[in-house]
Amino acid sequence: MADELDELISQAIDAIQSAPDVRRLHDIKVYYLGKKGQFTLRLKTLAKRTADEQRVYGKKLNAVKADLARHIHQRKEQLDALLVQQRIADETIDVTLPVMDDPLAYGGSHPVIHLLGEMESLFASIGFDSIFSPEIESDYYNFAALNMPPHHPARAMHDSFYLDPTTVLRTHTSPAQVRAMETQPLPLRILSTGRVYRRDSDLTHTPMFHQVEGLWIDQQIAFCDLKGLLTEFVHILLKDRQLKTRFRPSYFPFTEPSAEMDIACPQCAQKKCRLCGYSGWIEVLGCGMVNPNVLQISGIDSHTYTGFAFGLGVERLAMLRYGVSDLRQFFDNDLRFLAQCRS
């Protein structure tokens, strides 16, 4: 009987110490110490034993019961403490987690699209309507109506992708000017943004890029309106009110006079660096007064109306705005890069 009792005691202690939770611990207590528990039953059967046995085992059984109750109490305290620790761990927010690893992180617009939206709302605030113009364009809208008849040498600069002899992936957003002049009532102010395509691919050119086209036609529009508006625009977009700008004479078949607008190189503050080709200036857009031929082709009386137009490459401006040195990063789809250019 002594061996059997020792065996039962060590079994009970093992069970108590490995009880995984408070409920299981309670079951173990009932099994060993409850009214019909293993040790209680043995106490009850003592009556059938000799007086000596009753004395020895009775004393031992009572001591065992007290000992087990103490083990149970200790295990309960351990389990309660574990429960509290578990709850604290569950409720703690780990503020050190990098946001970008969050599988539920919201996406955002691509930096180029973000900038396009910003330009659209900027121009909308001074009355420019955003209009759509197709990416697959006819020779007429892409070239001829912009004062570039067949064999005009300016066509060669565009290195186009032709779909058939008279259809092309637009090489610039300027066709939107013609479409606006054909359909919108005068005076008009429009902005058109989107993808354009050229057979160009190197460090600073991609075969597809984004442009923004603007056109303002009214009576008595002059070159000073163009200068004032575009200077203000660049100051706001690049967040630098003091940024120096200059207008340099240039040539575009659809404007006369034509100019290119440069900004003082933001990287070297005009001390001359690689970014600005050691000139201190960076070209940001092309512009000019709409060529009277272009107005006439679209049926607008060039004696009554004048206007100005401008076109710019968005990736170029995005590089300046976000301090990016390699144009191709915008198309590499690396979220670590893209997520940094959002404001």
CA distance 8 to 43: 14
Residue 13 or 208: the one with the smaller Cβ distance to ligand DAH is: 208
Query: Quick one: how far is CA 297 from the chain centroid?
Result: 43
Residue 308: CB minimum distance to ligand DAH, A? 7
Residue 270 or 302: the one with the smaller Cβ distance to ligand DAH is: 302
Residue 85 or 201: the one with the smaller Cβ distance to ligand DAH is: 201
DSSP 8-state secondary structure symbol assigned to residue 288: E
Residue 237: CB minimum distance to ligand DAH, A? 17
Residue 61 or 144: the one with the smaller Cβ distance to ligand DAH is: 144
CA distance 136 to 154: 20
H or E stretch including 121?
Answer: helix 111-124
Residue 42 or 210: the one with the smaller Cβ distance to ligand DAH is: 210
Q: Which residue of the chain is nearest ligand DAH when measured via CB? A: 311
Residue 255: CB minimum distance to ligand DAH, A? 4
Q: Which of 158, 163, 247, 167 is closest to 205 using CA atoms?
A: 158
Question: 201: helix, coil or strand?
Answer: coil
Instruction: Give the N- to C-terminal CA distance of the chain in Å, as an integer.
Output: 83
Residue 28 or 178: the one with the smaller Cβ distance to ligand DAH is: 178
Report the interface residues with ligand DAH, using CB under 6 A. 172, 174, 213, 252, 255, 286-288, 309-311
Measured CA distances, 77 to 33, 83, 132, 300 (Å): 19, 10, 72, 91
Residue 303: CB minimum distance to ligand DAH, A? 21
Question: 314: helix, coil or strand?
Answer: helix
Question: 137: helix, coil or strand?
Answer: strand
Residue 234: CB minimum distance to ligand DAH, A? 15
Is the four-CA dihedral 157, 162, 167, 173 of positive or negative sign? negative
Q: Which amino acid is at 156?
A: A
Q: Residue 236 forms beta bridges with which residues?
A: none
What are the structure tokens assigned to 267, written together? 């990287």
Residue 39 or 177: the one with the smaller Cβ distance to ligand DAH is: 177
Residue 172 or 179: the one with the smaller Cβ distance to ligand DAH is: 172
Residue 57 or 310: the one with the smaller Cβ distance to ligand DAH is: 310
Residue 342: CB minimum distance to ligand DAH, A? 27
Q: Which of 204, 212, 244, 211 is closest to 326 using CA atoms?
A: 204
The alpha-helical segments, DSSP class H, found in 147-250 are 175-183, 223-237
Measured CA distances, 170 to 177, 183, 314 (Å): 13, 19, 16
Residue 285: CB minimum distance to ligand DAH, A? 7
Q: Which of 274, 277, 252 is closest to 262 using CA atoms?
A: 277
The 3-state DSSP composition of the chain as helix, strand, coil percent (nearest 5) reads: 45, 20, 35
Residue 313: CB minimum distance to ligand DAH, A? 8
Residue 310: CB minimum distance to ligand DAH, A? 5
